[in-house]
Structure 1
Amino acid sequence: MAVSGGGKRLRIAIAGDLHGEWDHSDHALLDCLAPDALLVVGDLSDGQQRIPSLLRQLPMPVACILGNHDTGKDASGRTLQHQINLLGEVHCGWKLRALSPPDLAVVGGRPATAGGGFRLSRAALAAFGPVSLQESADRITAAAATAPPDWPLVLLSHSGPSGLGSDATSPCGRDWKPPACDWGDLDLALAIRQIRLNRPVPLVVFGHMHHALRRGQGDRQSFCRDRAGTSYLNTACVPRHGTDGAGQALRHFSWVELVGQEVVSASHRWFGLGGELLYEERLWTAPNPAPNPAPELAPC
């Protein structure tokens, strides 16, 4: 299965777990940065309506998956379903979100996951009914099968897949209580294996496991690649609104650039409100530079 690095360059901004930190300053910043698409990995809030409504208003290609906090601790599933209704076509749980332009296929994982292998919360059971591990993986796989084969495919999930390590510092490692273990989703890992039988999976984007580890254990590894060339990016920089030592307001986005079916760069970026790139943690740069160099980021 050949993986081509040819094609146009796509610039993707990714908002990690929001936990209520999303407002019109983010909209103004995105208008300034002008990425080709925005992906949102869930935990928008604790079930409030404000952020889903704001995301749906964005005048740009957007895909979003909901996380465990988006149930609002409402076991009836009504809060979760209301969030899905507010997002409308922006929500891609178990579905293909075909963004054209920029010709990007985004397939969502299991909505409202809290990681830990495979388990549906009471809210998810109420909203979706019983779903087995294999059924969930098959839904993701079937959605990917409907994506245009020449478009790059991104899997968007709240929790990442199992198989990325069992240390507390691993991209999906449990850090809040010992022993550390792999807290990734088994159904997502199975879906990745199934999808790869027919097409490449260049990028898997998720959050849930915050970058700063509990009890002062340090920082989480937020990026890795496997032998098949799939990049895995944990975007859960929490809080994503902040200030630096000089008092400058900061907004965090993870940033990925794709050329064809290949991730050519990935980083965590902290921007000022005027669009200036103030800090960057570079995670990956492809060893062979791709064509179509990225434009320079400049303040608005």
Structure 2
Amino acid sequence: MCWGSIEGNFQKNLTDIRIAIAGDLHGSWSQDDLDLLLELNPDGVLFVGDLSDGDLRIVRGINKISIPTSVVLGNHDRGRDGSGNVLQAQLDLLGEKNCSWNLSKWSLKELSVVGARPCSGGGGFFLTPEVKSVFGDVSLDESVFRIVSAAKSAPLDLPLLILAHSGPVGLGSEASSLCGRDWKLPSMDWGDKDLGIAIDQIRKFRVPELVVFGHTHHQLRIGGNRTRKTFAQDLWGTSYLNAACVPRRGIDSAGENLCHFSWVEFSNNKLVHVSHRWFRNDASIAYKEVLLNQEN
């Protein structure tokens, strides 16, 4: 469990937009999560994929969320069903909550969310049989075009957030990098090539405020008890957040049952706060790791 180090009580900050981000669930979503989310009452909630291995009960649980919600599915969500039926069933249930390759249709009008390629496993660009069965044999260039086109359809006067399962290439090649391969040697950049190219092209007409993703878990699999870097900013002012704290639920040394959400806040169309938060069941903060906190 990747706890932060700052304790405190939960207080709403007086910012314009507050977004909760659920990292890779891997089947960990229940009524307790829904109750906690409703108590926190953010303005919106994002899911970075790997909800489960195709368990429709998880998707039905997400559909109970009344808060504006956007979802991109991950590689595990394919369900190891080459026909694509399991994947399609999840997409059908999610409906407009799914924003893969599109501008999100969520009701939160103060923030534009563009979804990247669905079911990515990182490592450049690759479509599995399940994805091809549902979406067709989409090329790298076509994937880039879809992401960029979605960004072009977003209002220029609102902040732009890109939601992906795997982050883009270019964030480092160490195992501990945001998208670093940590499950076998040699370590390398395991980001998505199409997303990296798309971000470069989007910068020609606007700068995305934030790119949110998961896939590469915070706890490293090799190299001892280490965690990866989870936040970065580039020279153009775009921030990158890896939300994949896995498992999301656990018990700390004090015996507290805790649940993780990443948390971002925007004020006057600017990203002003990013943190990882571990909440108690009463929605108070047990631990908080602040990654960005700046005056507007």
TM-score (norm 2): 0.93
Long gaps (5+) in structure 1: 1-7, 291-300
Structure 2 counterpart of 1:10 = 17
Q: Secondary structure at the match of 1:188?
A: helix
Give the C-alpha shift of residue 102 in structure 1: 4.5
Structure 1 counterpart of 2:88 = 81
- How far apart in 2 are the matches of 1:185 and 1:246? 39
Counterpart contact for 1:63–1:91, Cα < 8 Å = yes
Moved more, 106-115 or 76-85: 76-85
Match of 2:233 among 225, 230, 240: 225
Q: Secondary structure at the match of 1:254?
A: strand
**For this pair of structures, how many residues does the alignment match?**
282
- How far apart in 2 are the matches of 1:11 and 1:102? 13
Counterpart contact for 1:254–1:266, Cα < 8 Å = yes
- How far apart in 2 are the matches of 1:147 and 1:34? 25
Counterpart contact for 1:104–1:152, Cα < 8 Å = yes
Match of 2:273 among 233, 240, 265: 265
Give the C-alpha shift of residue 217 in structure 1: 5.2
Match of 2:150 among 143, 151, 161: 143
Give the C-alpha shift of residue 193 in structure 1: 1.1
User: What letter is aligned with 2:262?
Assistant: S
Instruction: Please list the CA deviations of residues 192-226 of structure 1 after superposition, one character each: whole Å capped at 9, or x if unmatched.
Output: 11111112200000000000000335110000000
* Pair 1:277-2:274 in alignment: no
TM-score (norm 1): 0.91
- How far apart in 2 are the matches of 1:223 and 1:200? 17
Return closer, same or farther for 1:152/1:159 CA change in 2, 3 Å cut-off: same
Instruction: Please list the CA deviations of residues 46-104 of structure 1 after superposition, one character each: whole Å capped at 9, or x if unmatched.
Output: 00101111111211100000000001111111111111111111011001114333521
Give the C-alpha shift of residue 41 in structure 1: 0.3
Q: Secondary structure at the match of 1:42?
A: coil
Match of 2:101 among 88, 94, 98: 94
Instruction: Please list the CA deviations of residues 109-136 of structure 1 after superposition, one character each: whole Å capped at 9, or x if unmatched.
Output: 0000000000001111111111111110
Structure 2 counterpart of 1:121 = 128
Instruction: Please list the CA deviations of residues 214-263 of structure 1 after superposition, one character each: whole Å capped at 9, or x if unmatched.
Output: 03351100000001110000000000011111221101000011123421
Long gaps (5+) in structure 2: 1-14
Q: Could you tell me the percent identity over the aligned residues?
A: 53
Counterpart contact for 1:109–1:157, Cα < 8 Å = yes
Counterpart contact for 1:47–1:72, Cα < 8 Å = yes
Moved more, 119-128 or 158-167: 119-128
RMSD of equivalent CA atoms: 1.3
Match of 1:63 among 54, 67, 70: 70
